């Protein structure tokens, strides 16, 4: 296999701008390849030669994982899900993921590594599980997080099922999060070591069963190290740009994308008392906590700034002062725990946005899939539809979708 | 590696390899050049042309070398339809199970308003004779039907179909891509006007094919240029033509291997039936199929997934539908046989070649029971 693809490797390899030794030196990574191999084997918990699948997006992280696992002696194959048909205007645009050209990148990386690679046609599943839900959620005033749904459905169901069907012992991805087994043999998801890259927030839909099958080999790595080792192993995309946007709207904005699917839904902008202050072109263009770009007439200088505090299903946007963004009670739906559910009364950290800080909260009620939390710390702008992820220190216990974030003062509740 | 995907491509035959290698050492010129090197190249090219012509029973007709059968199909269609002597409006009769290169022509021409009738097939993939007769009731410019169905291995009665097309004055084009070496091919006897050929389905290199023209058949070129009697411009692919001629020189040997391949194929089918819940697609009496193809589907199994599972065990097969670029449409052939999209996604095609051994077939029979339980696992798309 390797010999067959040697020619392609030669063709595919760009000139590395900087030698990998420089990259590793800059990253402060002094590990010898043998140490990296030992670390990979420890993370994988599988004997050398075991068959493992790698979810390959075409980007540097998952490509590096594939290369590192090949180096560690596993029988690696790559899986890439084709998720949607690309708008011709988007072709060539950086910052996308899982578009046909990314699948081609993944395939060429796989070829250069001498491993097999398969592209799965999952456009139907993605449209149903991610895009339709994204549009419907935005349309009713939520601010959905499609990356979480993609992880839940595409990564943790479709790719896991495919990997198992193809006889893989594990599915590895390039996510920056730590996934190990605890003393009881239960999956334990923790924050990635690189605070700039930590993706644990997006991975909360992990279940115990899937958690025991999936591996995140880069959890203890910093991005700079990944780039260095990718270059060391000749991964052609080692200098590729990061993907950041919501992939399928990358050429557009959520507002235009949702408007394209459902028609623009303009509506009123009102204050907390219900007085109309202005109009807007569509609620998908706004997020709870947003202060700028409301298009309202200028306020008096002494007035306190206005923020979006709610997006109502009827299309009305409510604005109010910063204090109105405060939430003291948060209800999460579609909640799943990675391990055993913690008891009512347990105190934990609630994080409501990627790169946010967890805020102390206490479990007030916990039923099947729904948890109500009393916020103990200061929590502002918890938007409906975003994920609420529950941490114990840096360990992810579980998470769900924010169904309601309210201010409770005594017996009265104000919308926030 | 066990290669059971001969209908996708075949290994380069030793004869073709030797001929190409020898020709590469000759420092040949451009066949159009007047000097000695050019003349040498021209001589080899014409030898290759004659060899191909003879090997398919096409003496008296003309071989136009193309980049492959896809181009030959396009040349045949456009060559007839756009010719100044062809009366308008044009009307085409073809089938619902042609190769995608024909399907693409159908789609493109329909967009431009051309009337095209696709003759349906029965559940086993055989052409509906009554529908064909009905289709020919109206004035027809071109009839285009394949000789051997690539996904199922079915053989179509080209001589009869061509005679009926000629009776109504239509030009008859036959996509014979899968025929050489699989069935005895005598283009003159078949009575077709145009026939597409491909080298790499019969031990030749990919990138070379030909369109055969019956003596006297006129054609409008698709690519202008003086080469190939003005029918296909561009400097000729001499090495390809030499490889094709060498490979087609071995067609009798390939044909002689077919009874053995049929035995192996039957043995494979017998072995696979033991796995249970498996049905055969394109199951027709032996004289209506080549014998080297087995198209099967297991209940609840995605064909493309099984292709991947077999690939990881070093067995090459095809699902007739999967495309490396990541879009996996259900097989149009199985859909034409009346299957649902889900059923059509289950099709798995084994196609045997002269190099196939009993040991390889037994290995596949032994392998499948271990793969089937896990590939039957959940599959979100089918829910």
CATH of the domain at B93: 3.40.640.10
The answer as to whether B321 is a domain residue is yes
Where among B207, B234, B252 does a domain terminate? Answer: B252
Query: Token pair 């025929």 is at which residue?
Result: B179
The answer to whether A103 faces chain B, any CB pair under 8 Å, is yes
Considering B230, B252, B274, which residue would you say is the last residue of a domain? B252
pTM above 0.80, yes or no: yes
- Which among B326, B329, B377 is the top mutation candidate for probing chain A, defined by the most A β-carbons within 10 Å of its own β-carbon? B326
Taking an 8 Å cut-off on Cβ atoms, the answer to whether B378 and A161 are in contact is yes
pLDDT of residue A2: 47
Tell me what pLDDT residue A1 has.
45
Q: Kindly state whether residue B353 falls inside one of the protein's structural domains.
A: yes
For residues B202 and B284, membership in a common domain is answered with no
Residue A93 pLDDT greater than 60, yes or no: no
Give A332 to chain B, closest Cα distance, Å. 26
In this prediction, residue A368 carries a pLDDT of 86
Cα separation, B157 vs B171, in Å, equals 16
What is residue B322's predicted lDDT score, i.e. its pLDDT? 52
User: Are B320 and B292 part of one and the same domain?
Assistant: yes
Residues B109, B233, single domain; the answer is yes
Does residue B46 sit in the same domain as residue B173?
yes
Which residue is catalytic, options A98, A147, A150, A178? A150
B5 belongs to a structural domain: no
Task: Verify that B106 and B150 share a domain, yes or no.
Answer: yes
Least confident of A53-57, A212-216, A297-301: A297-301
> Quick check: is B1 in a domain?
no
Confidence of residue A257 (pLDDT cuts 50, 70, 90): confident
The minimal CB distance from B324 to the residues A119, A153, A158 is found for: A119
The neighbour count for residue B291, using CB atoms within 10 Å, is 21
- The answer to whether position B81 is within a domain reads yes
Whether residue B373 lies within 8 A of chain A, CB to CB, comes out as no
CA distance B381 to chain A (A): 6
pLDDT tens for A163-206 read 999 999 999 999 999 999 999 889 999 999 999 999 999 999 99
Q: Which two tokens stand for residue A102?
A: 């990314």
Mark whether B206 and B316 lie in a shared domain. no
pLDDT class of A237 with cuts at 50, 70, 90: low
The whole-angstrom separation of Cα A208 and Cα A205 is: 10
Q: Does some domain include residue B172?
A: yes
Looking only at the bridges linking them, the beta strands covering A347-351 and A276-280 are unpaired
Note whether B380 contacts A122, CB cutoff 8 Å.
yes
The residue count for chain B: 383
Closest residue in B to A51 (Cα–Cα):
B312
Cβ within 8 Å of residue A399, ≥6 positions away: A201, A204, A205, A332, A335, A336, A387, A388, A389, A390
Which of these three, B252, B274, B301, is where a domain ends? B252
Interval A110-135 mean pLDDT: 91
Nearest to residue A220, comparing CAs of A32, A51, A40?
A40
Q: Is B346 left (phi over 0), alpha (psi -120 to 50) or beta?
A: alpha
Roughly how many angstroms between the first and final C-alpha of chain B, as a whole number?
34
Same domain for B242 and B166, yes or no, is yes
Inter-chain residue contact B381 with A166, CB threshold 8 Å:
no
Q: Is there a single domain that holds both residue B157 and residue B275?
A: no
Q: Does B112 share its domain with B131?
A: yes
A91 touches chain B (CB under 8 A): no
Peptide bond into A59 cis (omega under 30): no
Does B31 reside within a domain? yes
The answer to whether A91 touches A119, Cβ cutoff 8 Å, is: no
For residues B337 and B344, what is the distance between their CA atoms, to the nearest angstrom? 9
A116 CB neighbours in chain B (<8 A) are 311-312
Say if A396 is an interface residue toward chain B (CB within 8 Å): no
Place of tokens 């992880």: A151
Helix or strand (DSSP H, E) at B73 = helix B69-81
Looking at residues A242-271, what average pLDDT do you find? 78
For residue B300, the chain A residues in CB contact (below 8 A) are none
Distance of residue A402 Cα from the nearest chain B Cα, in angstroms? 26
Q: Are residues B320 and B201 in the same domain?
A: no
Which residues 6+ apart lie within 8 Å of A275 measured at CB? none
Any bridge partners for residue A197, and if so which?
A: none
pLDDT of B381? 61
CA nearest neighbour of A56 among A116, A126, A123: A116
Q: Do A158 and B380 touch (CB under 8 A)?
A: yes
Mean pLDDT of A369-396: 95
CA distance A89 to B267: 52
Q: Which residue of B has its CA nearest to A53?
A: B312
Give the A:B interface size as CB pairs under 8 Å.
61
**Known catalytic residue at B323:** yes
Instruction: Give the pLDDT of residue A411.
Output: 41
Q: What is the dihedral of CA B83, B87, B93, B98, to 10 degrees?
A: 10
DSSP B265-321: HHHHHHHHHTTSSEEEES---GGGB-SSEEEEEETT--HHHHHHHHHHTTEE-B-SS
Q: Provide, as residue numbers in chain A, all residues whose Cβ is less than 8 Å from the Cβ of B325.
A: 82, 100, 103-104, 119
Do the Cβ atoms of B380 and A125 come within 8 Å?
Answer: yes
Q: Given an 8 Å threshold on Cβ–Cβ distance, is B305 in contact with A165?
A: yes
**A140 band by pLDDT with thresholds 50, 70 and 90:** confident
Q: B219 to chain A nearest CA, in Å?
A: 37
- Residue B64's beta-bridge partner residues? B211
Question: Which chain B residues have a beta carbon less than 8 Å from that of A165?
Answer: 305, 309, 374-375, 377, 379
pLDDT for B324: 53
Residue of A nearest to B372 (CA): A165
Collect all residues of chain B within an 8 Å Cβ-Cβ radius of residue A156: none
- pLDDT exceeds cutoff 50 at A414: no
Are the Cβ atoms of A121 and B312 closer than 8 angstroms?
Answer: no
Among B311, B371, B380, select the one facing A157 at the smallest CB separation: B380
Return the structure tokens found at B7: 């209908």
Query: DSSP readout, B101-119?
Result: HHHHHHHHHHHTT-EEEEE
pLDDT at A89: 55
Chain A contact for B315 (CB, 8 A cutoff): no
B125 and B109 in a common domain: yes
Are B156 and B245 part of one and the same domain?
Answer: yes
B324 touches chain A (CB under 8 A): yes
First to last CA, chain A: 60
**Contact assignment for A125 to B381 by CB distance below 8 Å:** yes
| Nearest CB neighbour to A165, from listed B311, B374, B381 | B374
Q: All domains of chain A, ordered by start, with CATH? A: 2-249 (3.40.50.620), 265-324 (2.30.30), 326-415 (2.40.30.10)
- Res A219 pLDDT > 90: yes
Structural domain harbouring B22: 14-252
The lowest-confidence range among A255-269, A319-333, B190-204, B284-298 is: A255-269
Per-residue pLDDT of chain B (383 residues; tens, 9 = 90+): 999 999 999 999 999 999 999 999 998 999 999 999 999 999 999 999 999 999 999 999 999 999 999 999 999 999 999 999 999 999 999 999 999 999 999 999 999 999 999 999 999 999 999 999 999 999 999 999 999 999 999 999 999 999 999 999 999 999 999 999 999 999 999 999 999 999 999 999 999 999 999 999 999 999 999 999 999 999 999 999 999 999 999 999 999 999 999 999 999 999 999 999 999 999 999 999 999 999 999 999 999 999 999 999 999 999 965 555 567 788 999 999 999 998 998 999 999 999 999 999 999 999 999 999 999 977 766 54
A9-18, Cβ contacts within 8 angstroms, sequence gap of 24 or more: A9/A111, A9/A112, A9/A234, A12/A108, A12/A111, A12/A112, A12/A236, A13/A112, A13/A234, A13/A236, A14/A236, A14/A239, A16/A231, A16/A238, A16/A239, A17/A239, A18/A231
Which of A98, A121, A159, A213 should one mutate to test binding to chain B, selecting the residue with the greatest count of B CBs within 10 A? A121
Q: CATH number for the domain including B263?
A: 3.90.1150.10
Q: Which of B319, B380, B382, B383 is the best residue to mutate to test the A interface, defined by the most A CB atoms within 10 Å of its own CB?
A: B380
Which residue among A98, A147, A178, A247 is the active-site one?
A: A247
In a domain, B50, yes or no: yes
* Residue A4: pLDDT band with limits 50, 70, 90: very low
All residues of chain A having their beta carbon less than 8 Å from the beta carbon of residue B311 are 116, 118
Q: Which residues of A196-210 are buried (b: 16+ CB within 10 A; e: fewer)?
A: ebbbbbbbbbbbeeb
For residues A198 and A202, give the distance between their C-alpha atoms in angstroms, rounded to a whole number: 9
Give A-chain residues touching B381 at CB under 8 angstroms.
Answer: 121-122, 124-125
Structural domain count of chain B: 2
- Report whether B95 contacts B129 (CB < 8 A): no
The beta-carbon neighbor of A121 closest among B311, B312, B327 is B327
């Amino acid at each position: 296999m390797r010999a067959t693809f040697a020619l392609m490797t030669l063709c595919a390899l760009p000139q590395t701008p900087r030698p990998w030794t420089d990259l590793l030196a800059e990253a402060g990574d002094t590990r010898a390849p043998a140490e990296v191999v030992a670390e990979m084997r420890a993370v994988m918990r599988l004997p050398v030669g075991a068959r493992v699948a790698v979810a390959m997006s075409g980007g540097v992280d998952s490509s590096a994982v594939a290369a590192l696992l090949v180096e560690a002696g596993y029988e690696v194959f790559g899986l890439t899900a084709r998720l949607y048909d690309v708008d011709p205007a988007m072709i060539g645009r950086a910052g996308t993921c899982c578009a046909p050209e990314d699948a081609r990148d993944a395939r060429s990386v796989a070829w250069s590594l001498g491993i097999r690679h398969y592209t799965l046609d999952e456009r139907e599943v993605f449209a149903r599980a991610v895009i339709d839900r994204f549009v419907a959620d935005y349309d009713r005033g939520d601010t959905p997080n499609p990356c979480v749904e993609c992880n839940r459905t595409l990564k943790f169901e479709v790719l896991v099922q495919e990997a198992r069907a193809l006889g893989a012992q594990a599915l590895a991805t390039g996510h920056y999060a730590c996934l190990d087994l605890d003393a009881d043999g239960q999956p334990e998801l923790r924050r990635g070591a690189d605070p700039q890259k930590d993706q644990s927030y997006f991975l909360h839909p992990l279940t115990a069963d899937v958690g025991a099958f999936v591996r995140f080999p880069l959890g203890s790595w910093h991005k700079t190290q990944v780039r260095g080792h990718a270059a060391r192993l000749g991964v052609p995309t080692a200098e590729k740009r990061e993907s950041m946007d919501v992939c399928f709207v990358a050429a557009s904005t959520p507002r235009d994308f949702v408007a394209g699917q459902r028609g623009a839904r303009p509506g009123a902008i009102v204050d907390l008392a219900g007085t109309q202050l202005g109009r807007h072109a569509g609620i998908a263009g706004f997020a709870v906590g947003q202060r700028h770009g409301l298009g309202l007439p200028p306020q008096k200088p002494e007035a306190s700034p206005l923020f979006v505090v709610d997006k109502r299903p009827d299309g009305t946007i409510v604005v109010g002062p910063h204090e109105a963004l405060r939430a003291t009670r948060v209800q999460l739906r579609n909640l799943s725990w990675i391990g055993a559910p913690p008891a009512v009364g347990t105190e934990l950290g609630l994080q409501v946005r990627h790169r946010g800080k967890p805020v102390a909260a206490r479990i007030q009620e916990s039923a099947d899939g729904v948890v109500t939390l009393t916020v103990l710390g200061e929590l502002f702008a918890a938007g409906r539809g975003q994920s609420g992820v529950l941490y114990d220190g840096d360990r992810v216990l579980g998470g769900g979708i924010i169904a309601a974030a309210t201010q409770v003062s005594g017996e009265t509740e104000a919308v926030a | 590696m066990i290669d059971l995907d001969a209908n996708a491509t075949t290994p380069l035959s030793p004869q073709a390899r030797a001929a190409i290698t020898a020709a590469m050492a000759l420092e040949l010129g451009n066949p159009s050049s007047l000097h000695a090197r050019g003349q040498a190249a021209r001589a080899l090219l014409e030898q290759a042309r004659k060899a191909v012509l003879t090997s398919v029973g096409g003496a008296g007709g003309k071989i136009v070398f193309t980049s492959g059968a896809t181009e030959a199909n396009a040349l045949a269609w456009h060559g007839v339809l756009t010719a100044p002597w062809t009366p308008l409006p044009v009307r085409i009769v073809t089938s619902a199970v042609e190769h995608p290169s024909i399907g693409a022509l159908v789609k493109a021409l329909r967009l431009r308003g051309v009337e095209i009738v696709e003759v349906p097939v029965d559940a086993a993939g055989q052409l509906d004779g009554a529908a064909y007769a009905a289709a020919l009731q109206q004035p027809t410019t071109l009839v285009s039907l394949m000789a051997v169905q690539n996904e199922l291995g079915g053989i179509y009665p080209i001589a009869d179909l061509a005679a009926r097309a000629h009776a109504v004055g239509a030009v008859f084009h036959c996509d014979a891509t899968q025929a050489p070496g699989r069935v005895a091919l005598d283009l003159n006897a078949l009575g077709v006007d145009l026939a597409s050929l491909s080298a790499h389905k019969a031990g030749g290199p990919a990138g070379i094919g030909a369109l055969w023209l019956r003596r006297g058949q006129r054609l409008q070129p698709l690519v202008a240029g003086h080469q190939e009697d003005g029918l296909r411009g561009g400097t000729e692919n001499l090495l390809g033509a030499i490889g094709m001629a060498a490979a087609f020189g071995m067609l009798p040997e390939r044909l002689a291997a077919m009874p053995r391949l049929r035995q192996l194929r039957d043995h494979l089918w017998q072995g696979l039936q033991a796995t249970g819940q498996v049905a055969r697609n394109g199951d027709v009496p032996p004289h209506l199929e080549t014998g080297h193809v087995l198209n099967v589907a297991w209940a609840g199994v995605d064909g493309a997934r099984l292709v991947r599972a077999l690939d990881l065990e070093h067995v090459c097969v095809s699902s007739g539908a999967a495309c490396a670029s990541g879009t996996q449409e259900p097989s149009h052939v199985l859909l034409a046989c009346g299957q649902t999209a889900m059923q059509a996604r289950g099709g798995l095609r084994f196609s045997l070649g002269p190099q196939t051994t009993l040991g390889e077939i037994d290995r596949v029979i032994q392998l499948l029971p271990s793969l089937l339980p896990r590939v039957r696992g959940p599959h979100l798309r089918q829910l």
